[in-house]
Amino acid sequence: DTAVSQTPKYLVTQMGNDKSIKCEQNLGHDTMYWYKQDSKKFLKIMFSYNNKELIINETVPNRFSPKSPDKAHLNLHINSLELGDSAVYFCATTSGQGAREQYFGPGTRLTVT
């Protein structure tokens, strides 16, 4: 079983549309994150959720809204997509215990045309 999975793997959409990316983890971890990797491979954290509570909200436009229906899922909804939103979005999880390894999903490549 895949520990951290994301759907879809690829998403191509037009400017102005609204889309969602889903993340699921079967590790029983407490905290989940969304990261954005741009075309230059730079990675930046966007959000984290701990027990369904938003912990970090970096300087991300409010068009982006994370939603966690339960501890195993953290979805990312994006309104009014812009060209600059094109990137690879990674979900990650950590148990928050011990060594605090973060495990990443395979990524969702979003292309806005």
Partner 1 sequence: GEDVEQSLFLSVREGDSSVINCTYTDSSSTYLYWYKQEPGAGLQLLTYIFSNMDMKQDQRLTVLLNKKDKHLSLRIADTQTGDSAIYFCAETPNSGGGADGLTFGKGTHLIIQP
Please, which of residues 14-73 interact with partner 1 by CB under 8 A?
30-31, 33, 35, 40-45, 48, 50, 55-56, 58
Tell me whether residue 14 or residue 40 sits nearer to partner 1 (CB atom).
Answer: 40
Q: For strand 73-78 and strand 64-70, is the pairing parallel, antiparallel, or unpaired?
A: antiparallel
- Burial tier of 34 (Cβ tally within 10 Å: 0-12, 13-18, 19+): buried
The residue type of 99 is A
Please, which of residues 76-105 interact with partner 1 by CB under 8 A?
90, 92, 94-97, 99-105
Backbone angles phi, psi at 84, to 5 degrees: -70, -10
**Site residues (CB under 8 A) for partner 1?**
30-31, 33, 35, 40-45, 48, 50, 55-56, 58, 90, 92, 94-97, 99-107
